[in-house]
Amino acid sequence: MSKEENIYPADLINMILGGLIALKSEQQIGSVNRSPGSETLFLGKWLKRAKKQRHYPKSISDNIDDFLALYTQKGRNADLTSSFYQIYNEYQTIKINADDFPNSPKQRFDTAMDLLKKKSWSISLPIAHDDIADGPYQSNKDKELFVLKKDWDDVFDDQNKFIKPLSLSVVSTPQEAIDSLYSHGFILAKDESRTNIKSSYHHYTLFPDNKYQGRAAIPSQYKN
């Protein structure tokens, strides 16, 4: 079984694709407009019908129930379309295999940072800032990727292998950073345990061998 199937079973992906294809088909003939509320109403009814008629295996019945619970709770505000796309896009994202990249993790990471520098990013690795004693780091740059020293120490070993999770932060719209790291074999996982002090701050974690926890940040090539 592939690693993506370990996280998202094939039956779940087939269900997600079935719902999205049905939605797009109805939109093409003008039966459903392209507002999140209308799309959610369609997918909610589609899920109820799929459950009632047992269109999908019992193995994903809990997933269907979770979607329906969200729909029951929030109605047209549940934004089921975004939830469907997040799962499918993440499934596509995690197919990447770091072993397919020839260089060491440290070399690939450095190359990704060099690529961002060429795009006018400030790369601060690491910064000597104590966020406990001094409060959150306040960037004065338009575009910056930074790592605190306490998070940087011992991330790579003497063979340039990636041996522990790395917490990093992005100031500005994060897509360029997500894409740069992904193009060099890294998946950024959203770190929702940390508070964004401003809307332009985004926190992520890199995990060895991309064995991440939480939700993956989606690279541009897999965004709907």
Give the domain range for residue 70.
3-93
222: three-class secondary structure by DSSP: helix
180 with 123, same domain? yes
Same domain, 64 and 139: no
Per-residue tokens: 6 = 């370990």
What is the token pair recorded at 50?
């799929």
The values of phi and psi at residue 76, to 5°, are -70, -10
User: Are residues 192 and 107 located together in one domain of the fold?
Assistant: yes
Burial class (CB within 10 angstroms; exposed 0-12, middle 13-18, buried 19+) of 126: middle
Do residues 130 and 144 both lie within one domain?
yes
DSSP character for 216?
B
Structural domains counted in the chain: 2
Domain match, 54 and 104 both? no
Give, for 74, the enclosing helix (H) or strand (E). Answer: helix 61-74
Residue 28: predicted pLDDT = 95
pLDDT at 4: 57
DSSP single-letter state for residue 217 = P
Last residue within a domain, chosen from 41, 74, 93: 93
Are 124 and 169 in the same domain? Answer: yes
What does pLDDT average to in each consecutive run of 10 residues of the chain (224 residues)? Answer: 66 96 96 95 97 92 96 96 96 90 95 98 92 85 94 95 96 96 96 76 94 93 88
Same-domain pairing of 185 and 216: yes
pLDDT for the residue numbered 1: 41
In this structure, the answer to whether residues 120 and 136 fall within a common structural domain is: yes
Task: Tell me: do 215 and 183 sit in the same domain.
Answer: yes
Looking at the structure, tell me whether residues 120 and 199 fall in a common domain: yes
Judgement on whether residues 81 and 184 belong to the same structural domain of the protein: no
Could you tell me how many helices (H) and strands (E) the chain has, helices first? 8, 5
pLDDT for residue 194:
75
**Residues 104 and 88 placed together within one structural domain of the fold:** no
- What's the confidence (pLDDT) of residue 190? 93
Q: 193 CB contacts (<8 Å, ≥6 apart)?
A: none
- With contact defined as beta carbons under 8 Å apart, do 186 and 57 qualify? no
Q: Which of 58, 93, 128 is where one domain is finished?
A: 93
The residue among 93, 113, 142 that closes a domain is: 93
